Amino acid sequence: MASTYSTDLSLELVATGEKAGLWGAITNTNLQILQAAASGYVEVAMTSGSDVTLSLADGSATANGKNIYLKLTGTMAGNNSLIIPSSTTGGAATRIYIIEDATDRTTANKYTLSIKTAGSSSPVPVPVGSTLIVRSDGTNTALALRQ
């Protein structure tokens, strides 16, 4: 049986008797993913004027969607949505994110910023300069707390 990946963080789940001699590297990667989920910080540029999608790539310790704290940065060039991955190879991804808005939206256009899962029709609006705790159940995104 081949390795599979966990639902929420895409940790590699090695099958019994598989990957002899590779357990150390796989375990270290899984520990780095757990560290990002518990205390990871990443800046996400929201400058393109189009949606930005986070990644939960299987077995990747550097996928930006695995960090708990996301600081949204840059001078926005249009209305943007931050897209939280709705699923991984293992199924629906349930995640909690702390999201800080540090974007520059002071232009005359006053661009909007929102957070949603892929395919969701109910985005969470991000007030200028706010910090939010957002929960995704893999289908919908909901505001848990706003500061």
How far is CA 60 from each of CA 2, 28, 50, 132, 136, rounded to the nearest angstrom? Answer: 17, 11, 25, 25, 20
pTM assigned to the model: 0.86
Which residues have a Cβ under 8 Å from the Cβ of 101 and sit 6 or more positions away?
72, 113, 126, 127, 128, 129, 130, 131, 132
pLDDT of residue 28: 93
Q: What is the pLDDT of residues 95-118, one digit of tens each?
A: 899 999 999 987 767 899 999 988
How far is CA 33 from each of CA 65, 79, 107, 135, rounded to the nearest angstrom? Answer: 10, 31, 37, 19
Structure tokens at 51: 């949606």
Write out the residue range of the structural domain in which residue 20 sits. 4-146
Residue 90 DSSP label? T
pLDDT of residue 124: 94
Per-residue pLDDT of the chain (147 residues; tens, 9 = 90+): 688 888 888 889 998 889 888 888 999 998 999 998 899 999 999 987 789 999 988 888 898 989 999 999 999 989 999 999 877 665 677 889 999 999 998 776 789 999 998 878 789 999 999 999 999 888 888 888 776
Work out how many domains the chain is built from and give that number: 1
